[in-house]
Amino acid sequence: DAKTTQPPSMDCAEGRAANLPCNHSTISGNEYVYWYRQIHSQGPQYIIHGLKNNETNEMASLIITEDRKSSTLILPHATLRDTAVYYCIDTTGNQFYFGTGTSLTVIP
Amino acid sequence: GAVVSQHPSRVICKSGTSVKIECRSLDFQATTMFWYRQFPKKSLMLMATSNEGSKATYEQGVEKDKFLINHASLTLSTLTVTSAHPEDSSFYICSARALQGRGGELFFGEGSRLTVL
């Protein structure tokens, strides 16, 4: 059962930062938050994951609040190819349950 | 990065027949594999978790006799949709979790689209 809440859709101008929020208020203390994205009719693609500290990789940055009840995925310079559905996943119970995700549209 | 391969990517079958979908981890060993199904414009729904050498754990509401899962080796899991009906038409996606050394990341296949006529 999904344990995360995300806005259903967002728009972002090309070249600007896209900030995607996620609420995971029921996450347990030692479980990671994962972010994936899915482009139409493809398998989900891993983006980033974190536990307590903020994380950054070549794709994105992940900001996790101190109480761990929410996080924000940041795509620093969105491109048209970043248009996709973004899922944040609470892995409590060692399961990967997908919520409804956020459909991000990058606008030229 | 790690690769998970699914086969077939598309399959069309007649109602009443059975269809097998394979999921392989190509460059790592997977202790756990997950099977999802996805309807158009909907999120992924976890169907079952399979662990190598043991019975799969099915999510509530998923018929285990309908969706047979076999995880015979650390690199292969199969999903068989038995006596398929049109309502089984869906996008089926597998994922694999590696042994230690991969940080518990979940790698997804590209999905298999099943159409039952």
- In SS3 terms, chain B reads as CCCEEEECCEEEECCCCCEEEEEEECCCCEEEEEEEEECCCCCEEEEEEEECCCCCEECCCCCCCCEEEEEEECCEEEEEECCCCHHHCEEEEEEEEECCCCCCCEEECCCEEEEEC
B44 close contact with A: CB closer than 8 A: yes
The tokens describing B62, both together, are 């998923």
Give the length of chain A: 108
Predicted pLDDT of residue A1: 57
Predicted pLDDT of residue B32: 87
Which amino acid, residue A85? V
- Percent of chain A at pLDDT > 90 equals 67
CA pair distance B29, B100, nearest whole angstrom: 10
Predicted pLDDT of residue B18: 97
CA pair distance A62, A70, nearest whole angstrom: 11
Predicted pLDDT of residue B57: 92
CA pair distance B116, B111, nearest whole angstrom: 16
Distance from CA of A38 to the nearest CA of B (A): 10
Predicted pLDDT of residue A25: 82
- State pLDDT tens for residues A14-58: 999 999 999 988 887 778 889 999 998 899 999 999 988 899 999
Q: Where are the alpha helices (DSSP H) in chain A?
A: none
Distance from CA of A100 to the nearest CA of B (A): 5
Predicted pLDDT of residue B104: 65
User: Quick check: A106 pLDDT over 70?
Assistant: yes
Predicted pLDDT of residue A26: 80
- State pLDDT tens for residues B36-84: 999 998 999 999 998 888 889 999 999 999 999 998 888 999 999 999 9
- State pLDDT tens for residues B7-17: 999 999 999 99
Please state the φ and ψ torsions of residue B4, each to the nearest 5 degrees: -115, 130
Split at pLDDT 50, 70, 90, the class of B101 is very low
Predicted pLDDT of residue A2: 60
CA pair distance A30, A36, nearest whole angstrom: 19
**Higher-pLDDT residue of B45, B30:** B45
Residue A10 near residue A106 (C-beta atoms within 8 A):
no
CA pair distance A55, A40, nearest whole angstrom: 27
Residue of B nearest to A98 (CA): B44
Burial (CB < 10 A; 0-12, 13-18, 19+), residue A78, is buried
**Adjacent-strand bridge partners of B69:** B79
A45 close contact with B: CB closer than 8 A: yes
* Chain A residues close to B91, C-beta within 8 Å: 41
Predicted pLDDT of residue B51: 84
- Choose the closest CB to B106 out of A38, A96, A100: A96
* Chain A residues close to B113, C-beta within 8 Å: 41
